[in-house]
Structures are given as structure tokens and as C-alpha cells.
Amino acid sequence: MPPGCLPGHFESQIFLGWFKKIFSPNNPFNIMKKLGAGDLHHQFERVISLFTGKAARQGYLASIDQSIISLSNFIATIILARNASPTELGVYGVGFTALRLIRAIQDGLIIQPLNTFGAGLTNCKWRIYFSSTGVFQIALAMLLSFGAVVAGWLLSESGNDTAGPAMSSLWSVFLFWQLFEFIRRTLYTRANVQYAVIMSTLSNIVRILFMLWLIIQDNLTGTTTILAISIGSLIGMIPGLWKTKNFWVHHGLRLRETWDKNWRFGKWILGSSTANWLALEFYPVLAAGLISFAAAGAYRAIQNLVAPIHVLIRATDTFLTPRAAKLYDQSGLPGLSQTIRITYLIIAVPVFGVLVFALLFPEQLLNLFYGDTYNQYSSGVIFMALSYVFLFGYSPVVTALKAVRIGQPIFIASIAAITAMFTVGIFLVIKRDVYGTLAGQALNSFLIFTILWMSWYSIRKGLHTPSQQSEPNPD
């Protein structure tokens, strides 16, 4: 077989085998051994083990899954922005932000308890627990869907002819997307990530095709773009429902026991997730309420220029968090710190590549993606880029904090950012419109960056003790 034609798995195994022989303690030419770095070989093997094998392949699939979702959001925003007004883009942006709030609620009450308690259950106990949790998921989806209809009716009755219909249109996405996400994340819990990738791929293909059909029908608006998410979720659920059909049972459910257990665990995650949503996602809503939906659309258009960074950071967090936690259990703080440093080095190049490109050609990129509609806001890219610099700066720290099971700094940082948003942030939005919104978001990111790094520095000093460094956890 010619060089370079080996399947990737075998090439990686050959490389790793060669590398391990070179740095083997038994190799007389091992320079690190002569330098007294014998422990480095053991640590290297631990790091390598995190990125190979079945668990690592599941992590790679999870990264692909997240990339598909983020890329589809990016494409959908461009399609809408080029074929509708800034107001319609703002309606979609605010609706999408509301959907992220629903995700935060679902994450605390349903998803995280399911992931935590469900992963280690045997088949019989799993089916009872899954079905009981599924009852609560269906009830939550219906409740929030009904709430969207009621809220939309109240807004319409109060004379808000834009926000009212927009809110009412969210009923379908609150219902179908939640059920879709419940099934998709269940597949993660049972280590069937490949089926989750199939769900996401099918869902987003249907979503984009429906948007293109709406363009032909001359009916692409903010609300119909949200409807496209609903239809994609409904169709995308089909392979997931087929895969999980044997998980459901109709008898022996333990609803009260399951609710009590999920609530005890999930209420703190619910509070933290909601606070994080307010800190990071609420500025477009402020722009829509204090300025106009068109201002929220401009914010969304500028944010979309650096959206590839979201893909990278979310995929990195999805893949790295469980492996960082495992490495911390095995090697303690030195191994975790080294992994975080390597993570910064790896993702710094693409992150700053995107940011520098956006800063050098803001008007050209806005014109390429949206025409000349948003060219007047090209200077705002500076504030958005600054926000993402800080986001890059603290994201691996969030992973490290989750790895050492210390979540309080994340919550405190979110509360500080919320406080700044509802004081200084509102002032900036009122005084400087879209630019004030972008500056406020940069301020939030800076506060979170500062608090998390100060916290991580203090935690490292507290964990860096002889008792911590003596013996790694063998489990």
C-alpha cells in the first residue's frame, strides 16, 4: 500500500507506538530519562489515553454534532439577513435568544439530571428512570409552549403588534425542539452519539431546505425562520425515536421519586444556567426592547461574523470537559493545568485568525454576507471582537473549574455580569444604541474573564498542596 494510504486509525497507532518507544524508560537513548523526567512518560500515556479509544471517538462525534448545529445557525442567519429586513432578523434573533433560555431551563430540570443519574443505570432501572423523566419533559415542553401562546396574546392585546405575534410563534419551537433535544441528549447518555449526529444532520438539512422553499414562496420572515427550526426538529426526531423506542415503559413509573431526585440535583444547575443566559445572551433582548427589533437584528448580524469561534469553543468544551475531569482524577492539578495550557495554544490560532480577519475586513464581510444593509455598523465589530477575546480567555478556565467540581465562581461571575448589564449596560444601550449594546456585551465578557481568572488563580494555590500532589486518584 502506498505511503499515506493507511486508514487514519492505523496511522495514528503506528505513530503512537513509535513515539512511545522513543520515550520509553527502557530506551537507553531516551533524553528525558537522562534529564530525570521519567514521570513525564507516565503522564504522556495518561494524556494520550484521553484522546484515543471508544470514549475519545464519542468525543470526536460530539464535536462534529456541535459543529453541524453551529454551522447551520450561521447559515440560517445569513439566509434570513439577505432576504428580509433588519426587523425580521431582529425578531428571529430575539426568538433564538428565548430558545436559549428554554435550553437553560431544560438543562437544569431534565438534561443534566438525566446525564448524571442515567449514565450508570442498568437496563431495567434505566427504562423506568428514563420514562419517568420523559413524562416531566413532555409536561415541561407543553407548559412552556402554552406559556408562549399566552404571553404572545397578552403582548398583542397591549398593542405590541411585533412582539406579540413573534412570541406566539415560539409555541412550536418550544414544544418540538425540546422533545428533539431530550432524545438527542439521551443518546449521549447511553453512548450512542453517532445517532445524535444523524438527528442533527437530518434536522438541519430539513431546516435549511424549508428556509429556501420559503424564499421561493416569498414568505421568509423572522417567525417562519423559527418555524423552520420546529419542522427540522420534528423530522429530525424520527431516527432518535426509533433508536430509543425500547427505552420507554408504561408501567412501574416512579414519578415522585424521580422528580425529587432530579429537583434536588437540578435546581442549582437551573439557577446557574439561567444566570449564565442572562449574563451572556440577554443584550439582544435589551436592544429590541429599548431600541427596536432592527437594532437586535444588527447585533445578530455583527455577532454572526465571528460565529465560527462559537463552533470551536463549544466543540472544545463538549470534548474536553469529561476528559479534563478524568485527567484531574488521575494526575491531579499538574496534569489538568498542562492540558488547559495546551488547549489555549491549540485554539488560539483559529480564534485569533477569525478575529483578525473580521477586524481587518469588517465592511467587506458585512457586504459579502448581507449586502450593504449593515455596513453602517462595521465599526461595531471591534466591540464584538473584544467580547470574543475575553470569551476565548475564560472558556478553558470554565472547563478547568468544572473538572475540579467547583462551580461557584461561574455563578458569581454571571451574577456580577448581570448586575453590570442592568445598570451600566442599560445606560449604554439607551445612550449609544447598537454600539452601546455591543460595548455592554464586551463589558460583561470582561467581568466574567476577570472574576474567573482570579478565582482559578486562588483555587490553584489552594489545591497545590502536598496532599494534593502526593498520589493521584487511581480510579
The pLDDT averaged over each successive group of 10 residues in the chain (475 residues) is 39 40 46 45 53 63 83 93 92 92 91 79 88 95 96 89 87 96 90 90 97 96 95 96 92 90 83 84 88 91 87 74 74 83 88 93 92 91 94 89 81 91 94 93 94 90 53 41
Q: Which residues contact 203 (CB under 8 A, 6 or more apart)?
A: 180, 232, 233, 235, 236, 237
Q: What is the pLDDT of residue 318?
A: 65
**385, three cell numbers:** 471582537
Secondary structure of the chain in the HEC alphabet?
Answer: CCCCCCCHHHHHHHHHHHHHHHCCCCCCCCHHHHCCCHHHHHHHHHHHHHCCHHHHHHHHHHHHHHHHHHHHHHHHHHHHHHHCCHHHHHHHHHHHHHHHHHHHHHHHHHHHHHHHHHCCCCHHHHHHHHHHHHHHHHHHHHHHHHHHHHHHHHHHHCCCCCHHHHHHCCHHHHHHHHHHHHHHHHHHHCCCHHHHHHHHHHHHHHHHHHHHHHHHCCCCCHHHHHHHHHHHHHHHHHHHHHHCHHHCCCCCCCHHHHHHHHHHHHHHHHHHHHHHHHHHHCHHHHHHHHCCHHHHHHHHHHHHHCHHHHHHHHHHHHHHHHHHHHHHHHHHHHHHHHHHHHHHHHHHHHHHHHHHHHHHCHHHHHHHHHCCCCHHHHHHHHHHHHHHHHHHHHHHHHHHHHHCCCCHHHHHHHHHHHHHHHHHHHHHHHHHHHHHHHHHHHHHHHHHHHHHHHHHHHHHHHHCCHHHHHCCCCC
Domain count, the chain: 2
Q: Determine, yes or no, domain membership for 380.
A: yes
Say yes or no: 316 and 441 in one domain. Answer: yes
Q: State how far the Cα of 362 lies from the Cα of 365, in Å rounded to an integer.
A: 5
Q: Determine, yes or no, domain membership for 19.
A: no
Q: Determine, yes or no, domain membership for 353.
A: yes
Count CB-CB contacts under 10 A for residue 201. Answer: 17
Domain termination site, one of 267, 294, 327: 267
Q: State how far the Cα of 66 lies from the Cα of 318, in Å rounded to an integer.
A: 8
Q: Determine, yes or no, domain membership for 46.
A: no
Q: Which residues contact 154 (CB under 8 A, 6 or more apart)?
A: 164
Distances from the Cα of 441 to the Cα of 134, 396, 450, angstroms: 36, 19, 14
Say yes or no: 316 and 420 in one domain. Answer: yes
Q: State how far the Cα of 175 lies from the Cα of 251, in Å rounded to an integer.
A: 25
**267, three cell numbers:** 435546581
Q: Determine, yes or no, domain membership for 33.
A: no
Say yes or no: 243 and 319 in one domain. Answer: no
Q: What is the pLDDT of residue 81?
A: 93
Q: What is the pLDDT of residue 20?
A: 46
Q: Determine, yes or no, domain membership for 427.
A: yes
Say yes or no: 89 and 169 in one domain. Answer: yes
Say yes or no: 364 and 464 in one domain. Answer: yes
- Which residue range forms the structural domain that includes residue 443? 282-468
Q: At what angle do helices 293-305 and 362-370 cross, to 10 degrees?
A: 110
Domain termination site, one of 242, 267, 292: 267
Say yes or no: 195 and 301 in one domain. Answer: no
**End-to-end CA, the chain:** 41
Classify burial at 208, counting beta carbons within 10 Å of its beta carbon; exposed 0-12, middle 13-18, buried 19 or more.
middle
Q: What is the pLDDT of residue 51?
A: 54
Q: What is the pLDDT of residue 448?
A: 93
Q: What is the pTM of this model?
A: 0.77
Query: 251 near 82, Cβ under 8 Å?
Result: no
Q: What is the pLDDT of residue 19?
A: 39
**8, three cell numbers:** 487514519
Amino acid at 360: L
Q: What is the pLDDT of residue 268?
A: 78
Q: What is the pLDDT of residue 400?
A: 86
Q: State how far the Cα of 404 lies from the Cα of 356, in Å rounded to an integer.
A: 33
Domain termination site, one of 238, 267, 296: 267
Say yes or no: 212 and 99 in one domain. Answer: yes
Say yes or no: 406 and 300 in one domain. Answer: yes
Q: Determine, yes or no, domain membership for 67.
A: no
Say yes or no: 455 and 306 in one domain. Answer: yes
Q: Determine, yes or no, domain membership for 227.
A: yes
Q: State how far the Cα of 365 lies from the Cα of 325, in Å rounded to an integer.
A: 39
Q: What is the pLDDT of residue 463?
A: 65
Query: 446 near 388, Cβ under 8 Å?
Result: no
Say yes or no: 232 and 316 in one domain. Answer: no
Say yes or no: 446 and 324 in one domain. Answer: yes
Say yes or no: 297 and 243 in one domain. Answer: no
